[in-house]
Amino acid sequence: MKKIILASTSSYRKELLSKLHWPFEAMKPDVDEDIYKNESISPAELSAKLSLLKADNVFQENPDAIVIGSDQVCSFENQILSKPQNFDRALGQLTMLSGNRHQLLTSVTIKSQDKTLTWTNTTTLWMRKLNEEDITRYLKIDMPYDCAGSYKLEEMGIKLFEKIEMSDHTSIIGLPLIEISNILINDFGLKF
């Protein structure tokens, strides 16, 4: 079996990909995302572009491998919400999302010598109306400062939402495993 490399050192993505029980390595791609975040492109285009750049970067050093690159963008009214990094920014993001609908766009690129496939999985989320006390309590418990949109759905963050529409629940955490496993089996010839 060809070597699989995850072009990410995200603990969330590594944990997800390990659930498929294919051996893989994780490598940090050398991609400066901030350069591309300043371009005038849509959130979906940005997510797809970054997943491709990450896969390409790692593939250059590992041309015999199957490389999986991924990127996730949180989009509200066509505005990109980055990882907040601190309490105040997270409070601002959740206050803005409160009572509104937004999207999580998770793009994946799988690249080998023979082919490159890129796609985007879209999840639509409806956040319940929250007051500042609710948001502050949530942030103190989950501390989602390294998560786009300022929440962790796999933790207490699920309580923030009234409704979520998705085709693959693992996409929310950073890798749509249903689509990835289908493509690796059907398009890249991996054995179940």
CB atoms < 10 A from the CB of 140, how many?
Answer: 9
Indicate whether 95 pLDDT > 90.
Answer: yes
For 133, the 3-state DSSP assignment is: helix
Decide: 6 and 25 in contact? Cβ < 8 Å. Answer: yes
CB atoms < 10 A from the CB of 20, how many?
Answer: 17
Q: How many CA atoms lie within 13 A of 150 on its CB side?
A: 26
In this predicted structure, what is the pLDDT of residue 20?
97
- Delimit the domains of the chain by residue range: 4-186
pLDDT per residue as tens digits for the range 18-73: 999 999 999 999 999 888 887 789 999 999 999 999 999 999 999 999 999 999 99
As a whole-number percent, the residues of the chain with pLDDT over 90 amount to 88
- The CATH T-level fold of domain 4-186 is Maf protein (3.90.950)
Mean pLDDT score of the chain, rounded to an integer?
95
pLDDT per residue as tens digits for the range 131-141: 999 999 999 99
Q: Which of 167, 128, 122 is nearest to 151 (CA)?
A: 128
Name, in order, each residue with C-beta under 8 angstroms of 140's C-beta and a sequence gap of 6 or more. Answer: none
In this predicted structure, what is the pLDDT of residue 40?
82
Active site positions, annotated: 71
Total-model pTM: 0.90
